A = this chain, B = another copy of it.
Amino acid sequence: METLLQSKAHGGMQGVYRHHSVSTGTAMTFALYLPPGEGPFPLVWWLSGLTCTHVNVMEKGEYRRACASLGLALIAPDTSPRGDGVPDDAEGAFDFGLGAGFYVDATQAPWSQHYKMWSYVTRELPALALAQFPLDAARQSIMGHSMGGHGALTVGLRHPGRFKAISAFAPIVAPSQVPWGQKAFGHYFGEEKALWRAHDSVSLVEDGARVDALMVEQGSADPYLAEQLRPHLLQAACAKAGQQLTVTVREGYDHGYNFVSTFIDEQLGWHAARLRE
């Protein structure tokens, strides 16, 4: 593992690290913030949205002040494999391929060779990070934004014992029912509909997934709200299933990091309360 950056911030240390991933067969880069102190620290996973790398939340998320104050580490992986030989959307569209791994293990060629983000974020990177840094495996939580909100919800719903809290800003809650998800799953999974269900938060709740602490925040001025995000689908599924879910609508906020950075302190505080239990 190679250290690309270490920079003191809010009393702790913002790092950026690169390593060879067995899952994706590529180099992968991630950001990790450690709060002041010795640790082991509770670990918050941040999964990013379409077009993002580890950099977006690191530069625009404004999470370090709250993490330092609450004693939380925060790790931010990349959103797809990258590099020579990694295929991309045929037209270079932003919503598929590079920067758009959707946190799944693709089963269809040519995607199946490198697009193994599920294995990467649920197994390989946790093992690496927990071994290399002063982090507490027993106190983890997960959050994300947009496509990364989808990632946080699906990873969280499928690992109910691992994460003390699961939350998302403006997540894609039902990829099987919206254009971004249909395009991505159509390429990554083809017609294997069982895989679509296993990576769709609404389907997972319908199929019996249950977790303790689930929260979604959504800006009312988000241009993707009606077509791509549709949080009411998750609300309906959770209501029907008796799964707790808090959805908070933030009036006038859009889809970007100004929305995220405004409310991340509070959302991290909600995580911290559950990580202390």
Check if B221 sits within 8 Å of A8, measured CB to CB.
Answer: yes
Cα distance, A65 to B262, chains bound together (Å)? 7
A-side residues, CB < 8 A to B, are 7-11, 14, 59-60, 62, 64-65, 219, 221, 252-254, 256-259, 261-262, 265
B7, B253, B256, B261: which contacts A64 (Cβ < 8 A)? B261
Check if B221 sits within 8 Å of A258, measured CB to CB.
Answer: no
Q: Name which residue of chain B comes closest to A68, CB basis.
A: B262
Check if A252 sits within 8 Å of B8, measured CB to CB.
Answer: yes
Check if A7 sits within 8 Å of B254, measured CB to CB.
Answer: yes
Q: Name which residue of chain B comes closest to A219, CB basis.
A: B8
B7, B256, B261: which contacts A256 (Cβ < 8 A)? B7
Check if B60 sits within 8 Å of A8, measured CB to CB.
Answer: no
A258 vs chain B, min Cβ distance (A): 4
Check if A253 sits within 8 Å of B8, measured CB to CB.
Answer: yes
Cα distance, A261 to B59, chains bound together (Å)? 10
Q: Name which residue of chain B comes closest to A252, CB basis.
A: B8
Chain B residues with CB under 8 A of A257: 59
Cα distance, A167 to B64, chains bound together (Å)? 23
A246 vs chain B, min Cβ distance (A): 21
Q: Name which residue of chain B comes closest to A8, CB basis.
A: B252
Check if A261 sits within 8 Å of B9, measured CB to CB.
Answer: yes
The 5 closest A-B pairs by CB, nearest first: A9-B258, A7-B258, A8-B252, A10-B262, A62-B62
